[in-house]
Structure formats: C-alpha cells, structure tokens
Amino acid sequence: MTGARGRMPVAPAARRLPGASPASRDPRPIVAPPLETVYRPRSPIDAARAIGYQRRGAHDPSMIVAAGVIWRVSRTPDGIATLALRPEHHGVRAAAWGPGADWALAQLPRLCGAHDDPDGFDAARHPLIAATHHRHPDLRLGATDLVFDALVSAIFEQKVTGLQAFGAWRSILTWCGERAPGPTPRPMFAPPADWRAIPSWTWHRAGLEPPQSRTIVAAAGRRGSIERAMDGATDGVARDRVLTSLPGVGVWTGAETRIRAYGDPDAVSVGDYHVAHEVGFALTGRRVDDDGMLELLAPWAGHRQRVIRLIGLSGAREPRRGARLAPEDHRGR
C-alpha cells in the first residue's frame, strides 16, 4: 500500500436535527481528518466484489454503497473503524476514521482478497466453470479477519430466510450497536461490543429465533477463547473443530464463518437450502443432495468455494417450480 497524495471525496457530516430520533441524530464531534491510503494490488482483482460479499442484505447498517463509494464499519481489535473505499482501475482508494483506522487500513489488502491465491485452480475441468473463470479472472475471496463477528452473522442466518436474517441483523445493530465514526452518508453502526448485554426481549423484537440468540449469547461468553483457538488453528479442518465444538454451531455455520472471516477458498456450506441444488444444476443439469455436491466438487479440492462463487457468477439458475420458503415470525407468540 502507498500513501495517497489527495483526499478521497466523502460525504459531509450529518447535522443534528431538532426532534430527530436517537438513531438519526449524529452525537459525534466535528469529524477529524481521516487516515488515507491507496492499495494497489500486484495483479488485477475485483475488490468491489470481494468486499461486497460481506454485506448482510441491502439495508445492512454496517455496509452501504453510495455514489460509487463502499462504506464499511467494523469493530477491530483496536476499536471501531469506518472505511470509505473507492475501487479504481488499478486499486482501491481508502479513507478511515476511528480508533481502529490503522488496523483497518493495514488489513485492507486481505479484505480485497490479496491473500487469495488461485494458483493450481483448474477451471478447464468443466466448460461452464472455464467460461465463467475466463470472464472473471479477477475474482478473489476477501477476508475480514474478525472471526467472532463473522460467526455471529452466520448464526443469524441459521435455518431462516435471508429476509428474516438480514432484518434481524439490521435491527440489532441499529438498536444495540455503536454509532460509526466519520462522515457516513447516513447513520451506520458497528456490531455490539458485548452481545451478552442485549436483553432477551430485544432479540425477540428483532425477530431472531430463540435458539439463535441463545447460541450467540453462549458463544459471546467464550469469545476470547474462541478467537485464540481460531488464531492457533492451521487449516479449515482445525477451524471447523473449534467452531463445531460450540453448542448450536454446526458444519454450515462453521463453513460460513471461515468464508467470511478468512476468505477460505475451499469451504463448502453443507446443509444450505440452495447451494447443493445450484451446484448440481450448473454442473450436471439436475439437482443433487449434499453428498452429490461434494462428489461433484471433489476434483477442485482446495478451491471448492471458488467454484461455488463462479457458479453464482455464471448465470446458471435452476427454474424455480416449488413454493418459496415462507418466513416464520414468532414475535406474536
């Protein structure tokens, strides 16, 4: 990374409006100048796609896109940081605010997928994968290196529709998270500092199922040991052992955590409602179950998540004939 000479244009700080709700007010002092840098990767990468994968729905209060700038808020080991990222032809121009700004800028290459090495990946094993890889040679898997927040976001999505999970995520962060520093285009929020401090009725009001909230609270009590164990794990198998030892965390949640936190190119979300069907249809023209999916992906061992991402970019979609999974709202019970 190299230091930027000019400042990236950013949105003006929000004004305090009389009578505004707490979530819409901006209680922060005058915005301090940001730290700035330009990340220029050695080879072309699709940074916007790598970063965008971390977004939890269109209304994620921790990540928005406005006027070509990606705004991302995270709780780093050094404190909250807001990033404003403008992908350009030869890299990413970045500005950062908050106590975690230095950490966030240092981690930026990994967020953009710099660690992801497709060397050894043989796209030619299937014509659809070969064609899609040819169109998207710059596909990279980004990593946040924030394992606990990745775990929590995956737990939110256990056994529910995306609409339910993203709505609950938005509510909890907006109500219980910490306001993002910097001149964000609209109020943004970092994940809560202590997930255990969220009252049971707040989880209920947000629409999160009780098993998920209990799993998050229980994991939050072991956050330090989880993060230390994950830091010491050397591969996906070892990381899965750590994660699946937690009550309420299975192989699907473990894989999703590895994908988000580490950009694991081989992780496969076994047990997903859609992934096996999509892989089977794209590679064979018919549905398969999880075992069938793993068999189809076996020739790409080490790059199975990369194949799944390429299938997602290919445009191959099985015609939907059955009824959609209807969200279940337990708040009235």
C-beta separation of 290 from 276 below 8 A = yes
The contacts of residue 55 (CB under 8 Å, 6+ apart) are 63
- The parts of the chain modelled with pLDDT lower than 50 are 2-7, 9-25
CA-based R_g, the chain, Å: 20
The neighbour count for residue 76, using CB atoms within 10 Å, is 22
pTM of the entire predicted model: 0.87
Identity (one letter) of the amino acid at 233? A
Q: Where are the alpha helices (DSSP H) in 122-274?
A: 127-135, 147-156, 162-176, 200-206, 210-220, 223-232, 236-244, 251-262
The contacts of residue 117 (CB under 8 Å, 6+ apart) are none
pLDDT one-digit tens code per residue, 222-267? 999 999 999 999 999 999 999 999 999 999 999 999 999 999 999 9
Joined tokens for residue 194: 């202590």
- Which of the 8 DSSP states describes residue 2? B
CA gap 39, 91 in Å, rounded: 5
pLDDT one-digit tens code per residue, 281-323? 999 999 999 999 999 999 999 999 999 999 999 999 888 765 5
User: Where are the domain boundaries for CATH 3.30.310.20 in the chain?
Assistant: 35-122
What pLDDT is attached to residue 90? 87
What pLDDT is attached to residue 330? 54
Residue 329 CB-half CA count within 13 A: 7
- The region, left, alpha or beta by phi > 0 then psi within -120 to 50, assigned to residue 6 is beta
What pLDDT is attached to residue 319? 80
113 DSSP β-pair partners: none
The contacts of residue 158 (CB under 8 Å, 6+ apart) are 211, 212, 215, 248, 252, 253
What pLDDT is attached to residue 89? 85
From the list 318, 295, 319, the residue with the least C-alpha distance to 307 is: 295
Identity (one letter) of the amino acid at 42? R
- Residue 5 in 3-state DSSP? coil
CA-CA distances (angstroms) from residue 180 to 62, 84, 134, 192? 8, 12, 39, 11
What pLDDT is attached to residue 120? 94
From the list 230, 1, 180, the residue with the least C-alpha distance to 76 is: 180
Class (C level, CATH) for 35-122: alpha beta
Q: Tell me whether strands 35-39 and 91-97 are parallel, antiparallel or unpaired.
A: antiparallel
The domain defined by 154-314 folds into: Endonuclease III; domain 1 (1.10.340)
